[in-house]
């Protein structure tokens, strides 16, 4: 590739488009070949800003040692070695290494999952390769690629425009200027034109607000304008979830307390009991290390990334880990209608003329079979000038395409094409006969679309849109014989009632209108062009609810989640669909009413609203804000560019994977790959499940830690000396925390996850009930441990007492991990095998515990226990913990 650098074309804005393409070595008509693109990708590197160095396993492993407590342990090892306790030293070292490996494996896996998810959710770009338009990962774009951008696209790289149609680009990310820039392909600019004036260029990271464009890529990745000014833009750090922050804080507090207790027991032991200094020091250090829950915040990452993975398998791609947590607490889901609640497969079922005739259309979906009937009589465009014009609007005021039952573009427009075909019109022929001279594009705010076309009868203005708007803009209507009559206000009212009627049956209603035009319509303002229309009639379109949605709505309601429909459609259509899918009866508030309401008024009725209809994206953001201010955790769906603010504002912004624009996807926390409402509910369930899993792991680890500290502390003040030495404490952590705790992250959803109300905003994970639980459980475990200690110490020897206490604590913890598999409902034996990870951890833990008091007894310097003793301790610990838990659950002491 000629030019200053093989991966970049300098000053492309000074070149004519063809020259830019030539210098970049590409034919604009066909784009690069796949092979050439691959070659350039190798030379120039991927089109990404940050190099995003991937952490290897070794790095993750070494990071485990960047931890004060591990360093303390290593110091303890050296110390033990120094004072001649070689066995202890080796044991501690082995255990530390093992824990580091275990920690690293978990973290590494979580990171890989997140990375894979990131890849799945990566932005896409439309590019011409080998003469065909394909979607590729934006990271695979190379200099010389010919890209095609349209409304809602994020521009993937810097590019010189080859063609631009009505193209407006928001460049606020680069220039701070929020007014979209009108781009033009056919200008050549002086060399010193500043970026914000380079209207023949597209820049990476900006986005298309309107229109379409074709451009040749001049720079990618770090060579782009944004890449150059932002070389320092480091990868955004994974932000912590509120849960993580809470756990962080908690872990710090506990650490402080534990260190305090460890110091205290050291002082007491040394001053009052005159215990062995070396032993005391080692125990204190080990106590601090074993009991400090430094792994607590990491648990959320592990559990939530597993959840994110599960969600991805269920078609919900999470972009921020915090969203998993938020999903678990979602209390309001504000959802679009079209395509999310409905199948978005549209069929025109009826055509109503202004003078009250009704035509029925037969046939389903986008298949071309079927016809239009008045009673038993089939009609065609030839039957009446009115029907012919309705067909013309359907074909020409339309950007969709139909190809063997497959559609491209807006499904509603595709339905209109099918309708025109059923009227006996030849779509290709009509498109050839009429040339489009102007388009006034559809937007959710305008709720209408107009084209000016030139055909055999001269210029025609063809409009379609929301009936109230088209009727308002019409001054006359056409009768079936083709004559035009003035439209009085009384007739308008009657027509609107008729619309109400049709919409009330769940049909989407769209009005069609036309007007003879002239040259002035090419220059006049949009408003002028779209006035003095002649109403042709209304089409009634059916878009049935997705079959799985009523069940999903029922589940959401049962889970205490408010589902509210937010739609641009007519209130009556929206209400009918809302009723079909089983939303509880409630108010239908229109965008117009919304505008008149103050926030306070809106808040007062917010709970009763079933549907917000005829709303714009701006209203949507306000709705989200109001529900949030009411204390709700809000999920909202969106697909358009203008939905981005609402998506960002919501606790969980949900973008549509299929219909959604790149901008919406980028603003969202989660992407629905199948655009389906039921997937949101499934994700909520997964969120709640992972919430439970974090909770059970935290409760488990903390009560075990408290019991350990309490036992050691008791032993010190009682003058028993070292019950558990450093190695033993670490061993307990491996046996109990390492194995079964890791399995807890995989626990299935409890049967009642979707039957309880959502968590309230700001509600702590560890509140009073949880602290009570911790206190009670750690007391039981401590009492068990000490009882066995005393029993065996009295009967056999203190060394046997220590072994018995050691084993009792481990078995009590294992029993607790079993009980916690159901947080608040009684256990049944049936569930035991359902979580294989946990079961394996439990069995390995139980065996390791038994080994430690037999084979390894000498190493730990404790007495060796007989199989009968082991069985006895196993049974007693399990009975004690499990029966306590069963009683707690039955008493309704929920955690």
Query: Among all residues, which ones are annotated catalytic?
Result: 336
Residue 264 vs 441, nearer CB to ligand ATP? 441
Residue 539 vs 670, nearer CB to ligand ATP? 539
User: Which residues make beta-bridge pairs with 124?
Assistant: 137
Q: 242-271 vs 296-313: helix axis angle to the nearest 10? A: 150
| Segment interacting with ligand ATP (CB under 6 A) among 210-218, 459-467, 707-715, 730-738 | 459-467
- Long-range contacts of the stretch 717-724 (C-beta < 8 A, 24+): 717/265, 717/268, 719/272, 719/273, 720/789, 720/798, 721/269, 721/273, 721/275, 721/276, 721/279, 722/275, 722/276, 722/279, 722/280, 722/283, 723/789, 723/802, 723/805, 724/283, 724/286, 724/802, 724/805, 724/806
Task: State the minimum distance, in angstroms, from the CB of residue 395 to ligand ATP.
Answer: 13
Task: State the minimum distance, in angstroms, from the CB of residue 835 to ligand ATP.
Answer: 40
What Å distances lie between residue 664 and 153, 221, 444, 762, 825, CA to CA?
A: 9, 22, 15, 27, 41
Task: State the minimum distance, in angstroms, from the CB of residue 891 to ligand ATP.
Answer: 47
288 touches 668 (CB < 8 A): no
Residue 136 vs 611, nearer CB to ligand ATP? 611
**Which residue, among 358, 257, 241, 343, has the nearest Cα to 300 in the 3D structure?**
241
For residue 295, state whether it binds ligand ATP (rule: CB under 6 A). Answer: no
Among 111, 170, 279, 410, binds ligand ATP (CB under 6 A): 410
Site string for ligand ATP, 325-344 (x = CB under 6 A): -----------xxx------
Site string for ligand ATP, 522-561 (x = CB under 6 A): ----------------------------------------
Which letter, b or e, does each residue of 456-495 get, where b requires 16 or more Cβ atoms within 10 Å of its Cβ? Answer: eeebbbbbbbbbbbbbebbebbbebeeeeeebeeebbeeb
| Segment interacting with ligand ATP (CB under 6 A) among 204-212, 443-451, 452-460, 820-828 | 443-451
Q: What is the DSSP string of 19-54?
A: HHHHHTT--TTT-B-HHHHHHHHHHH--S-SS--PP
Task: State the minimum distance, in angstroms, from the CB of residue 418 to ligand ATP.
Answer: 15
| Segment interacting with ligand ATP (CB under 6 A) among 183-191, 256-264, 269-277, 407-415 | 407-415
Residue 284 vs 397, nearer CB to ligand ATP? 397
Task: State the minimum distance, in angstroms, from the CB of residue 612 to ligand ATP.
Answer: 10
Residue 644 vs 720, nearer CB to ligand ATP? 644
In whole angstroms, what is the distance from residue 154 CA to residue 733 CA?
49
Among 113, 393, 449, 663, binds ligand ATP (CB under 6 A): 449
For residue 160, state whether it binds ligand ATP (rule: CB under 6 A). Answer: no
Q: Dihedral of CA 281/712/863/871: which sign?
A: negative
| Segment interacting with ligand ATP (CB under 6 A) among 268-276, 348-356, 408-416, 811-819 | 408-416
Which letter, b or e, does each residue of 62-95 get, where b requires 16 or more Cβ atoms within 10 Å of its Cβ? Answer: eebeebebbebbeebbebbeeeebeebbebbbeb
What Å distances lie between residue 866 and 88, 102, 732, 812, 854, CA to CA?
A: 24, 30, 20, 18, 8
Task: Give the alpha-carbon dihedral of 189, 192, 194, 195, to 10 degrees.
Answer: 60
Site for ligand ATP in 412-431 (CB under 6 A): 412-413
For residue 687, state whether it binds ligand ATP (rule: CB under 6 A). Answer: no
Residue 325 vs 410, nearer CB to ligand ATP? 410
Among 198, 300, 329, 567, binds ligand ATP (CB under 6 A): 567
Residue 402 vs 466, nearer CB to ligand ATP? 466
Task: State the minimum distance, in angstroms, from the CB of residue 528 to ligand ATP.
Answer: 19
| Segment interacting with ligand ATP (CB under 6 A) among 79-87, 157-165, 551-559, 566-574 | 566-574
Task: State the minimum distance, in angstroms, from the CB of residue 879 to ligand ATP.
Answer: 58
Task: State the minimum distance, in angstroms, from the CB of residue 43 to ligand ATP.
Answer: 43
Which residues have CB under 8 Å from 257's CB, separation 6+?
none
3-state secondary structure of 658: coil
Site string for ligand ATP, 638-667 (x = CB under 6 A): ------------------------------
Which residues have CB under 8 Å from 510's CB, separation 6+?
412, 416, 464, 465, 466, 467, 538, 539, 541
Residue 567 vs 697, nearer CB to ligand ATP? 567
Task: State the minimum distance, in angstroms, from the CB of residue 179 to ligand ATP.
Answer: 23
Structure tokens at 540: 């009634």
Task: State the minimum distance, in angstroms, from the CB of residue 563 to ligand ATP.
Answer: 14
In whole angstroms, what is the distance from residue 199 CA to residue 181 CA?
7
**Which H or E run includes 242?**
helix 242-271
Number of CB atoms found within 10 A of residue 236's CB: 8
Q: What is the DSSP string of 280-326?
A: HHHHHHHHHHHHS-TTHHHHHHHHHHHHHHHHHHTTEEESSHHHHHH
For residue 465, state whether it binds ligand ATP (rule: CB under 6 A). Answer: yes
| Segment interacting with ligand ATP (CB under 6 A) among 14-22, 52-60, 212-220, 567-575 | 567-575
Among 378, 383, 444, 825, binds ligand ATP (CB under 6 A): 444
Q: Dihedral of CA 864/868/869/874: which sign?
A: positive
| Segment interacting with ligand ATP (CB under 6 A) among 405-413, 451-459, 817-825, 850-858 | 405-413
Residue 305 vs 572, nearer CB to ligand ATP? 572
User: Which residues make beta-bridge pairs with 656?
Assistant: 672
Among 7, 510, 668, 701, binds ligand ATP (CB under 6 A): 510
**Which residue, among 588, 758, 589, 576, has the nearest Cα to 681 in the 3D structure?**
758
Number of CB atoms found within 10 A of residue 695's CB: 19
Residue 212 vs 378, nearer CB to ligand ATP? 212
Kindly state the DSSP code that residue 758 receives in the 8-state scheme: P
- The count of C-alpha atoms lying within 13 angstroms of the C-alpha of 151, restricted to the half-sphere facing its C-beta, is 14
What residue number has its CB nearest to ligand ATP?
568
| Segment interacting with ligand ATP (CB under 6 A) among 222-230, 458-466, 844-852, 876-884 | 458-466
Residue 95 vs 460, nearer CB to ligand ATP? 460
Task: State the minimum distance, in angstroms, from the CB of residue 653 to ligand ATP.
Answer: 16
For residue 473, state whether it binds ligand ATP (rule: CB under 6 A). Answer: no
In whole angstroms, what is the distance from residue 619 CA to residue 564 CA?
14
Task: State the minimum distance, in angstroms, from the CB of residue 690 to ligand ATP.
Answer: 30
Residue that the structure tokens 């350990």 belong to = 708
**Which H or E run includes 588?**
strand 587-590
Among 319, 320, 388, 448, binds ligand ATP (CB under 6 A): 448
Structure tokens at 534: 């002649």
| Segment interacting with ligand ATP (CB under 6 A) among 104-112, 153-161, 439-447, 597-605 | 439-447
Residue 120 vs 441, nearer CB to ligand ATP? 441
Beta strand ranges found along 681-835 (DSSP E): none
For residue 677, state whether it binds ligand ATP (rule: CB under 6 A). Answer: no
For residue 670, state whether it binds ligand ATP (rule: CB under 6 A). Answer: no
Task: Count the site residues for ligand ATP by CB under 6 A.
Answer: 18
For residue 442, state whether it binds ligand ATP (rule: CB under 6 A). Answer: yes
Task: State the minimum distance, in angstroms, from the CB of residue 580 to ligand ATP.
Answer: 14
Residues at the site binding ligand ATP, with contacts judged by CB under 6 A: 336-338, 410, 412-413, 442, 444, 447-449, 464-466, 510, 567-569
């Amino acid at each position: 590739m000629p030019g200053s650098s093989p991966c970049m074309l300098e000053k492309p804005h000074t070149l004519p488009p063809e020259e830019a393409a030539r210098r970049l070595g590409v034919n604009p008509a066909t784009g690069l070949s796949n092979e050439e693109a691959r070659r350039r990708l190798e030379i120039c590197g991927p089109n990404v800003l940050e190099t995003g160095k991937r952490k290897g396993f070794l790095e993750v492993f070494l990071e485990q040692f960047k931890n004060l407590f591990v360093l303390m342990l290593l110091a303890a090892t050296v110390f033990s070695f120094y004072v001649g306790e070689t066995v202890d030293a080796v044991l501690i070292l082995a255990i530390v290494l093992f824990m580091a490996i275990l920690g690293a494996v978990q973290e590494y896996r979580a990171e890989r999952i997140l990375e894979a998810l990131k890849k799945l959710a990566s932005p896409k770009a439309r590019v011409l390769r080998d003469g065909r338009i394909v979607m590729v990962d934006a990271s695979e774009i190379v200099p010389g690629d010919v890209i095609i951008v349209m409304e809602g696209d994020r521009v993937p790289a810097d590019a010189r425009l080859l063609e631009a149609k009505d193209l407006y680009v928001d460049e606020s990310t680069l220039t701070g200027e929020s007014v979209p820039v009108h781009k033009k392909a056919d200008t050549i600019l002086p060399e010193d034109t500043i970026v914000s004036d380079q209207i023949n260029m597209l820049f990476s990271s900006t986005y298309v607000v309107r229109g379409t464009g074709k451009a040749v890529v001049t720079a990618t990745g770090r060579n782009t304008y944004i890449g150059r000014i932002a070389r320092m833009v480091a990868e955004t750090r994974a932000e912590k979830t509120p849960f993580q922050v809470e756990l962080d804080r908690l872990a710090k507090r506990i650490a402080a307390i534990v260190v305090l207790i460890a110091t205290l027991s050291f002082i007491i032991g040394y001053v009052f009991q005159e215990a062995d200094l070396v032993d005391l020091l080692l125990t204190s250090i080990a106590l601090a290390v074993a009991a400090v829950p430094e792994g607590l915040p990491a648990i959320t990452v592990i559990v939530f990334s597993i959840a994110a993975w599960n969600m991805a398998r269920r078609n919900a791609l999470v972009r921020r880990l915090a969203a998993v947590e938020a999903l678990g607490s979602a209390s309001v889901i504000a959802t679009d209608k079209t395509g999310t609640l409905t199948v978005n497969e549209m069929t025109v079922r009826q055509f109503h003329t202004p003078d009250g005739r009704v035509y029925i259309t037969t046939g389903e979906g986008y298949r071309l079979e079927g016809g239009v009937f008045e009673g038993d009589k089939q009609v065609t465009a030839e039957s009446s000038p009115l029907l012919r014009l309705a067909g013309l609007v359907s074909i020409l005021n339309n950007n969709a395409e139909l190809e063997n039952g497959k559609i491209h573009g807006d499904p509603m427009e595709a339905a209109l094409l099918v309708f025109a075909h059923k009227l006996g019109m030849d779509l290709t022929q009509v498109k050839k006969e009429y040339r489009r001279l102007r388009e006034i594009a559809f937007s959710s705010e305008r709720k209408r679309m107009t084209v000016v076309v030139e055909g055999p009868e001269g210029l025609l203005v063809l409009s379609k849109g929301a009936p109230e708007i088209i009727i308002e803009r019409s001054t006359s209507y056409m009768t079936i014989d083709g004559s035009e009559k003035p439209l009085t206000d009384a007739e308008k009212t009657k027509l609107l009632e008729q619309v109400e009627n049709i919409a009330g049956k769940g049909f989407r209603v769209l009005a069609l209108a036309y007007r003879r035009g002239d040259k002035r319509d090419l220059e006049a303002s949009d408003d002028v062009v779209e006035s003095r229309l002649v109403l042709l009639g209304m089409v009634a379109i059916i878009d049935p609810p997705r079959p799985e949605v009523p069940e999903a709505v029922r589940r959401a309601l049962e889970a205490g989640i408010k589902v509210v429909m937010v739609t641009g459609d007519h209130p009556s259509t929206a209400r009918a669909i809302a009723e079909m899918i089983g939303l509880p009866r409630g108010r239908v508030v229109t965008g117009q009413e919304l505008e008149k309401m103050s926030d306070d008024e809106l808040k007062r009725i917010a709970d009763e609203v079933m549907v917000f209809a005829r709303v714009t994206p701006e209203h949507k953001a306000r709705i989200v804000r109001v529900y949030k201010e009411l204390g709700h955790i809000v999920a909202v769906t969106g697909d358009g560019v203008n939905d981005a603010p609402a998506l960002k504002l919501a606790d969980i912004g949900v973008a549509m994977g299929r219909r959604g624009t790149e901008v919406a996807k980028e603003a969202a926390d989660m992407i629905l790959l199948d655009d389906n409402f039921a997937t949101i509910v499934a994700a909520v369930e997964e969120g709640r499940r992972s919430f439970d899993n974090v909770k059970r792991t935290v409760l488990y680890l903390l009560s075990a830690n408290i019991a350990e500290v309490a036992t050691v502390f008791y032993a010190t003040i009682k003058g028993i000396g070292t019950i558990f030495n450093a190695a033993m404490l670490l061993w307990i952590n491996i046996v109990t925390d390492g194995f079964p705790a890791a399995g807890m992250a995989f626990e299935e959803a409890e049967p009642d996850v979707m039957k309880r109300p959502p968590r309230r905003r700001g509600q702590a994970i560890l509140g009073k009930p949880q602290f009570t639980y911790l206190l009670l459980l750690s007391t039981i475990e401590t009492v068990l441990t000490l009882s066995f200690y005393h029993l065996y110490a009295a009967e056999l020897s203190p060394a046997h007492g220590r072994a018995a206490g050691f084993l009792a604590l481990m078995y009590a913890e294992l029993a607790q991990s079993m009980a916690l598999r159901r947080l608040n409902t009684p256990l049944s034996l049936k569930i035991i095998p359902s979580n294989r990870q946990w079961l394996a951890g439990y069995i390995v833990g139980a065996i390791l515990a038994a080994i430690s008091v037999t084979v390894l007894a000498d190493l730990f310097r404790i007495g060796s226990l007989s199989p009968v003793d082991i069985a006895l301790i196993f049974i007693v610990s399990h009975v004690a913990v499990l029966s306590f838990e069963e009683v707690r659950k039955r008493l309704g002491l929920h955690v």
